[in-house]
A = this chain, B = another copy of it.
């Protein structure tokens, strides 16, 4: 597997490339929540446990910049901003689902319990 460059970063394999787009602790959880509905910033903030303001905004910016989500600003006061999946974001969902299900399997194997909401 050869090297290739994207946005001035060198990648060594397709897995690394994919995980740099939708990996990390928050991107898949964000995409997953936008799976079947549009959400406002604060909705995401409240729905994703423990994500900090900074992390949520930077991850949203990156997902937007790479074409996974749309950011729609309504010129009203107070501000209203909605996030939704793009075509590309939609195509990521099945992958997220595979990883998510695998995570649930692993958790069962390791004996960790999701607990209650």
Contacts and interface: CB of A to CB of B under 8 A. Distances in A.
Contacts of A115: 2-4
A110 B88 CA distance: 11
Nearest to A17: B103
Contacts of A2: 49, 114-117
A10 B116 CA distance: 15
A98 B95 contact: yes
Given A29-B13, A49-B3, A98-B95, A18 B112 contact: no
The A interface is mostly helix, strand or loop, or mixed, namely: helix
Contacts of A109: 88
Interface of A: 1-6, 10-19, 21, 23-25, 28-29, 32, 48-50, 88, 91-92, 95-96, 98-107, 109-110, 112-117
Given A4-B114, A16-B25, A88-B109, 19 more contacts: A2-B114, A5-B112, A6-B110, A10-B50, A11-B112, A12-B50, A13-B103, A15-B99, A16-B29, A17-B112, A18-B99, A19-B19, A19-B23, A19-B25, A19-B28, A19-B103, A92-B102, A95-B99, A98-B98
